[in-house]
């Protein structure tokens, strides 16, 4: 499905599918990108402030992106990330947590002479209990509808 800038409205809400994080996912990501003890070693993690193994915030961010893309939120043309405002990791993510993302369009801006517009999307990543574990405002460039094409 093609989705263009003109197809979005401020206040529109969407939700992605879900992803369950395993201990193996957490450790593999940590080995590669964030090798801190509370991400790498379940036994050593027991002695940290978390009391058990947790996922890296960067892994939560990457999973959020995966869920957004897989959901088709931006249609077949996708959206080009321009930046993120207010990225916050609100609560630890543990092995066997199931994450999903709720998205709301909060702002849109386009110039008539540009082939794209900019939209701001408020995103909340939630665990299986509905608790927010991460929040961000994604700033995304979306293609404008080509002249002569139908809505």
Give me the residue spans of the domains in the chain. 5-143
**Predicted model pTM:** 0.92
**The pLDDT value given to residue 121:** 97
Distance, CA of 1 to CA of 76 (rounded, Å) = 5
Sequence-distant (6+) residues with CB within 8 A of 149 are none
**Closest to 27 (Cα-Cα) out of 49, 43, 13:** 43
Tokens coding 74: 């931006």
Tokens coding 66: 């995966």
Q: Which residues of the chain have pLDDT under 70?
A: 1, 148-151
The domain 5-143 belongs to what CATH superfamily? Hotdog Thioesterase (3.10.129.10)
Say if strands 19-20 and 116-126 run parallel, antiparallel, or are unpaired: unpaired
**The pLDDT value given to residue 148:** 64
């Amino acid at each position: 499905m093609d989705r263009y800038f003109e197809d979005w409205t401020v206040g529109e809400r969407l939700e992605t599918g879900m992803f369950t994080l395993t201990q193996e996912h957490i450790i593999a990501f940590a080995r590669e990108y964030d090798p801190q003890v509370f991400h790498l070693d379940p036994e050593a993690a027991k002695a940290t402030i978390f009391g058990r193994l947790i996922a890296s915030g960067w892994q939560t961010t990457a999973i959020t992106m995966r869920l957004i893309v897989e959901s088709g939120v931006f249609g077949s043309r996708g959206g080009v990330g321009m930046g993120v405002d207010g990225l916050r990791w609100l609560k630890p993510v543990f092995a066997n947590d199931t994450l999903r993302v709720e998205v709301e369009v909060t702002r849109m801006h386009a110039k008539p002479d540009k082939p794209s517009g900019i939209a701001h999307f408020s995103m909340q990543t939630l665990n299986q209990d509905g608790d927010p574990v991460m929040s961000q405002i994604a700033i995304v460039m979306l293609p404008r509808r080509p002249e002569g094409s139908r809505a």
